[in-house]
Amino acid sequence: MALYNNKLWLLSHIRDSFISTDDTGMSELVMVGDDVPKQLADKLDCYRDPEDSEDDEDTSHESYDFHLDVDFEVQRQRSNTAVRLEKLDNAKKRAAKVKNIKWEFSPVRPTEQELGELFVRKEPKKNVSNTRKSLLSEKLEQCTNLPQNPYIEYAKFDGSAQVGILTRKYKIFLTMLPEEHRNYPMTVSCIATAKIEELIGFILLKCSTIHGDFPLKPVSHYGLYITEEDGEVDHDFPNLDPKESVAKFGFTCLGLVEHKQITKNVSFESSQTIIQHEGSDEINKISSKLHMDDAQQITANMHLMKVHATAMEAPLYQSYRVYIVNKMRAKAEIQLGISGEKIEIDPLQQKNSKFTFVRQKPVSHHIDSVAWCEVTDTKSSGTAFRVVYSSSFGGGGGSTNVNVNVGSIQSPILQTSTSFKHYDFEADHNTAEEIVQKINLILELRSSGSRKEYLASRERKQRRRSFHSNK
Amino acid sequence: MVVEGSNENDQIILATGGYDHTIKIWQTHTGICQRTMQHAESQVNALEITPDKSCLAATGYQHIRMYDLASNNPNPTVNYEGITKNVTGVGFQEDGKWMYTGSEDCSARIWDYRLKSPHAAKIFQTSAPVTCVCLHPNQVELLVGDQSGVIHLWDLKTDHNEQFIPEGDTMILDIDVDSEGTHMAAVNSKGRCYIWSLTFGREGEPTKMHPKHKFDAHKRQALKCRFSPDSTLLVTTSADQTARIWKTCDFTLLQELTQDNQRWVWDAVFSSDSQYIFTASSDGCAKLWNVKSGHMEREYAGHQKAVIALAFRDAVL
């Protein structure tokens, strides 16, 4: 730009910038008095004609007011005519690059000499039949076992350089390619009448010619997804329906994703892996093996998800049928209800037996009174587990305190001499595990005073025991 | 230097064109389309590569367009106009001194296509639309076939011309002369093939043509005939969905090149060692066949519509 060579212009531009951007107005106060660029003008710009400077049209540098360029108009919607005119104009420009030669027949008969130069009778080459190998044969022999490109049938959907046919241009991110090729899109042009699966085939054809060494799977293994301009595949939407025409979809930026399982819709696991794939470079560098065992990654992720889900579900009410075991080792079937607020023990009517050795009253304990839960014994018949609770919690009602009022939770500080009691239950292994896990998750979440106290007393006991044993 | 990024394929050029208004350049041994060029406004009737391999000439309705093979420009660089109807054939003098065309406006023309010798331009009028043109290897006699079934032998030096009518009112569809200049073949719309043996005229005198053989090459229209570079074979293509390779010693059938649903076979060209043959057909594909086995070796797919013209340049090792 010529202006950047102009010292004067630069100087006044700096000055104007100061004035126009300084909100305090100090710059303007200081600088408006003496127009340095003007003073320097004659010194700096010795080539400038002093007369010319007066009626110079380009005096914009001398004023710091904003000048809107005359050409700068508010953009308005262009009419169809304007678009068509531009198209015609472009066609004309293109045509201008083509040299046109009209048929011209010169009436002047060429001289004998010219004729002799132009139309020379040549002896046809004799004995051309000596069989020398052609380059084509050589090339073909070099790649005799060339496997047929499986996607060659999709070549006809190529939209590049088509005349008179509607075509569509896409930026395709190839998410299954190695890292270095995955970050930039491949531009693909296909005819507008192609179906999505045909577009996928054509993308794979193009991909196989560019990245020849990369193994590709049949078309049905891939799906096209709506993708951000930066290559981030949007998994909130399902893949574009392979049977639909490309013209139905208006997206120009798509991501080709290899499905882990050949399903119509990508499952959650596969989207997990893709997120993993597109994770930061560091992760990829640290564990390059990550790509190697995708399956392991998926299971790990799934496990994490499961743990998370159970933790989330822990405070939700759930009831189990278990046996309560009293001190006499007698069992009675009860319903154990566990929620984020309380644990309820309800006896079940035992219809099949008239004798019940254990009479269990319905009991409810506020969850904050529960201190501990653990598996105590694992037998082949079932698993025994113990729930420890504070008997003095909630007004010291004791273990048989029916319906502890949830509203009247007392401060755990008051429970100075807590006595802990426990229930023993028995259930099949899986149920027991599940209950213990559920209760412990709730306890971890709440970490009540009873629990802390129980843990502390247990620690004290252990210390004492070790002290005794050391003696 | 034909196409960027294909140095190993430098010397081989295969171009195809047809009804979809595009011209495609292929990598012959892999079957990959390297480049697509636009041929707007009309179908491609014929293709030819200049002797220096720098340009590709494509003929269509009223135009001959020249494409640059060295660059990636999808548009033509030169447009020759002034013909009122379809241009059916194009070719070049072996040193690239001039270009010849035949067209349906009942004329064959010599073009000074490089604008170097303005007096080269010549026109030869016929009574019927010209269907094919073929330059005798002596580079001064042009054979012109027309729709009324006449073959004209036009001496470019003297403008003397002779006419041959193998079969009245049967359109001549193609003419070819073998590289040694000893035989000429012509095919017509009844699928018949005519062979002449040629003897050189003395200095200044026209070539003498002696009818040698005629046979029914195809049941339907024959569209193209082409001698192999070693003159031992002749290929004819036809609307009967086949291309047939004949031995020139006795004109017996050597191979029939056919494939289900390939439809009309429009054009054919031999490799320079006569071992392979390319065909162009209405199924939108060009194909490469092994002459000895008759098997298809490669398929060049990518055109939207029928492929009717081929241009091929090979190199000899």
* Residues in chain A, overall count: 471
CA B56 to chain centre: 13
Supply A18's token pair.
Answer: 């100061």
Contacts of residue B244, defined as CB under 8 A and 6 or more positions apart, other chains included, come to B217, B218, B235, B236, B237, B238, B253, B255, B256, B257
DSSP string across A279-331: S-HHHHHHTTHHHHTHHHHHHHHHHHHHHHHHHHHTTS-EEEEEEEE-TTS-E
Which of A115, A152, A156 is nearest residue B304 as measured by Cβ atoms? A156
* C-beta of residue A323 within 8 angstroms of C-beta of residue A331: yes
Q: Which residues pair with A190 in a beta bridge?
A: A158, A168
Contacts of residue B46, defined as CB under 8 A and 6 or more positions apart, other chains included, come to B58, B59, B87, B88, B89, B90, B309
Please tell me if residue A142 touches chain B, with a CB cutoff of 8 Å: yes
Burial of A359 (0-12, 13-18, 19+ CB in 10 A): exposed
Band (pLDDT 50/70/90 cuts) for residue B118 is low
Task: List, as own/partner pairs, every contact residues A271-276 make where C-beta atoms lie below 8 angstroms and the sequence separation is at least 24, other chains included.
Answer: A271/A235, A272/A298, A272/A301, A273/A297, A273/A298, A274/A175, A274/A233, A274/A235, A275/A235, A276/A301
Contacts of residue A42, defined as CB under 8 A and 6 or more positions apart, other chains included, come to A48, A50
**Chain B hits for A98, Cβ within 8 Å:** 65, 75-79
Chain B residue with Cα closest to A134 = B316
Supply B237's token pair.
Answer: 């293509």
Please tell me if residue A156 touches chain B, with a CB cutoff of 8 Å: yes
Supply B259's token pair.
Answer: 């494939």
> How far off is chain B from A258, nearest CA to CA, in Å?
24
Q: Which helix (H) or strand (E) holds A385?
A: strand A383-390
Which chain A residues in 83-102 lie under 8 Å from chain B, judged by CB atoms? 94, 97-102
Q: Which of A231-235, B11-15, B112-116, B289-293 has the lowest mean pLDDT?
A: B112-116
Regarding predicted confidence, which is higher, A128 or B27?
A: B27
pLDDT for A44: 56
Distance from C-alpha of A419 to C-alpha of A417, rounded to nearest angstrom: 6
- Dihedral (C-alpha) B19, B24, B27, B32: value to the nearest 10 degrees? -80
pLDDT for B311: 94
State whether B119 and A118 contact (CB < 8 Å).
Answer: yes
- Model pLDDT for residues B189-208, shown as the tens digit of each residue: 999 999 999 987 766 678 88
Domains and CATH numbers, chain A: 152-258 (3.10.20.90), 314-349+359-392+418-469 (2.30.29.30)
State whether A119 and B156 contact (CB < 8 Å).
Answer: yes
> How far off is chain B from A155, nearest CA to CA, in Å?
5
Q: Which of A94, A98, A101 should be substituted to probe chain B, the one whose Cβ sees the most B Cβ atoms within 10 Å?
A: A101
pLDDT for B124: 92
Distance from C-alpha of B15 to C-alpha of B3, rounded to nearest angstrom: 12
Query: Do strands B222-227 and B307-313 pair parallel, antiparallel, or not at all (unpaired)?
Result: unpaired
Contacts of residue A402, defined as CB under 8 A and 6 or more positions apart, other chains included, come to A361, A362, A363, A364
Which chain A residues in 167-206 lie under 8 Å from chain B, judged by CB atoms? 191
Mean pLDDT of B214-224: 93
Instruction: Report the candidate in B314, B316, B302, B258 with the shortest Cα–Cα distance to residue B16.
Output: B302
pLDDT over 90 (residue B237): yes
> How far off is chain B from A129, nearest CA to CA, in Å?
4
SS3 A136: helix
Please tell me if residue B13 touches chain A, with a CB cutoff of 8 Å: no
* C-beta of residue B146 within 8 angstroms of C-beta of residue B129: yes
Which of A94, A134, A160 is nearest residue B272 as measured by Cβ atoms? A134
Average pLDDT over chain B, rounded to an integer: 89
- Give the pLDDT of chain A (471 residues) as one tens digit per residue: 556 777 778 888 888 888 777 777 777 777 766 666 667 666 655 555 544 444 444 444 555 555 444 444 445 566 777 778 888 887 777 777 788 888 877 666 667 777 777 888 887 776 655 567 788 888 888 876 666 777 887 888 888 767 677 888 888 888 888 777 777 888 888 888 888 888 888 888 888 877 777 777 888 888 888 888 888 888 888 888 888 888 888 888 888 888 765 444 444 443 333 333 444 444 444 444 445 556 677 777 777 777 777 777 777 888 888 888 877 777 888 888 888 888 888 887 665 555 555 567 788 888 888 888 888 888 887 888 988 888 776 544 444 444 444 333 444 444 445 678 888 888 888 888 888 888 888 888 877 788 888 888 888 888 877 666 554
Mean pLDDT of B236-246: 93
- Model pLDDT for residues B53-66, shown as the tens digit of each residue: 899 999 999 999 99
Distance from C-alpha of B186 to C-alpha of B234, rounded to nearest angstrom: 11
Contacts of residue B58, defined as CB under 8 A and 6 or more positions apart, other chains included, come to B17, B23, B39, B44, B46, B47, B64, B65, B66, B67, B76, B90, B309
Supply A264's token pair.
Answer: 């119509």
Please tell me if residue B140 touches chain A, with a CB cutoff of 8 Å: yes
